[in-house]
Amino acid sequence: MCDLYSKLVVVSGPSGAGKDTVVAKLLEKDSDISLSVSATTRAPRGNEQNGVEYYFLSVEEFLEKVDNEGFIEHEQYGANHYGTLKSDVEKRLSDGKTVILVIEVKGAANIKKMYPESLSIFIMPPSLDVLESRLRGRQTESEADIQKRLGIAADEMRRSVDYDFIVVNDTLDDAVNDAYNIIKNHSK
């Protein structure tokens, strides 16, 4: 199974850095790239659907999966739990896909420890000001949640040095091309 994990790509970045948009473009660009769908206890946002953006679980369901060793890694972020599903990732890897995990920094560090051959990319916003205005612009979080996410963002940005690559998301197309080239070079 060891070699397979070289096809794991961990993508992190503060909330509002645009990592989901970058990843969506990567998926459009190349059908060999697949996105792991995590489980979370947070409520769906906007049009999010169960099994598409996340598997939305109750805290009880989530903790039961922890007990049954259903997660490769799991962490708490803000008030909610998030976890990478073993079954979901292994299925995609055995289909021969490059599998992207969009996860926060502690989970990313755990994956790197478990699978040193995996690739890690940090999506960096051009500045904290830009990050704040993007977060406010999407109008999906409460003020308290925005403040919490900005606090976490500063900590996360300090940990960007632990990643194999940092991609600054100033212009979306450039960020997508940079990330794509990094992924393709890694799997050569």
**Contact footprint for ligand 5GP (CB under 6 A):** 15, 38, 42, 73, 75, 77, 82-84, 102-104, 107
**Dihedral (Cα; 93, 99, 103, 109), 10-degree rounding:** 70
DSSP structure class, residue 50:
B
Least separation in angstroms between CB 70 and ligand 5GP: 11
Least separation in angstroms between CB 188 and ligand 5GP: 27
Tokens of 32: 């060999």
Tokens of 41: 């206890």
Residue among 104 and 178 whose Cβ is closer to ligand 5GP: 104
Number of residues written out for the chain = 188
Sheet with 38-40: strands ordered across = 54-56, 38-40, 80-85, 71-77
Least separation in angstroms between CB 42 and ligand 5GP: 5
Residue among 113 and 188 whose Cβ is closer to ligand 5GP: 113
Q: Cβ-closest residue to ligand 5GP?
A: 107
CA pair distance 37, 15, nearest whole angstrom: 17
Residue among 41 and 98 whose Cβ is closer to ligand 5GP: 41
